Amino acid sequence: MIENLIGETHRPGRIEVVCGSMFSGKTEELIRRLKRAKIARQQVMIFKPAIDTRYSEEKVVSHDHNCIDSTPVKDTQTILKGAQGHGYDVIGIDEAQFFDDSLVDVCNRLAYNGMRVIVAGLDMDYLGQPFGPMPKLLAIADEVTKVHAICVKCGSLAYASHRLVKSHAQVMLGEKDEYEPLCRECFKKALEEDQRNARSKNLFEE
Ligand code: ZN
């Protein structure tokens, strides 16, 4: 259905959300859709949070180093200003979980102005809780795609990203050695194991 939109002369505004765990290929899917829009000679603009400087300041780069030019922005108002009035057909937003809830209103406004908005982000944080504005974006989206990594423990489809290093910060930028994709069952076991370890460590320290 998404594929059919490419090349339409009259494109109604719409919001597509691509979500999933770490290593699920959501940025690859975002890049794929944006590249196809470019091939169809549509004007494309891509934003990402300025916080995400893992690989490159100016590019959206996936873990497999596929990349596309992007603009790092500090907040959603900058997206709104940068996206409107420049004749863009398609707006891509990567790592959407790092923006605040005002992204919901910004995406709606762009879509009502006739733009195709494609948002990619982590649906859940390292504890399996809905991440930032993602649950609201999923609610207002015209179309939702949930992509899956593979569980590194058992080979099933992964459900969430388990953090391997001990930090309680919700925002911690991911590298391959800091997170592992796990299925629901293995994720549950891993969280229980983490809790046991934390308890025994506390007992030891008291
Ligand atoms: Zn598993």
Q: Look at residue 123 in the predicted model and tell me its pLDDT.
A: 97
Contact 206, 175 (CB under 8 A): no
Q: How far apart are CA 82 and CA 103, in angstroms?
A: 14
pTM, two decimal places: 0.85
Q: Look at residue 130 in the predicted model and tell me its pLDDT.
A: 97
Q: Look at residue 151 in the predicted model and tell me its pLDDT.
A: 98
Burial class of residue 99 (count of CB atoms within 10 Å of its CB; 0-12, 13-18, 19+):
buried
Q: How far is the CA of 20 from the centre of ligand 1 (A)?
A: 16
> Catalytic: which of 16, 29, 95, 180?
95
Q: How far is the CA of 146 from the centre of ligand 1 (A)?
A: 18
Q: How far is the CA of 7 from the centre of ligand 1 (A)?
A: 40
Q: Look at residue 106 in the predicted model and tell me its pLDDT.
A: 98
Q: Report mean pLDDT in 10-residue bins for the chain, 206 residues.
A: 54 92 95 93 94 60 65 95 94 96 98 97 95 98 97 97 81 70 97 91 68
95 is catalytic: yes
Residue owning tokens 């649950």: 135
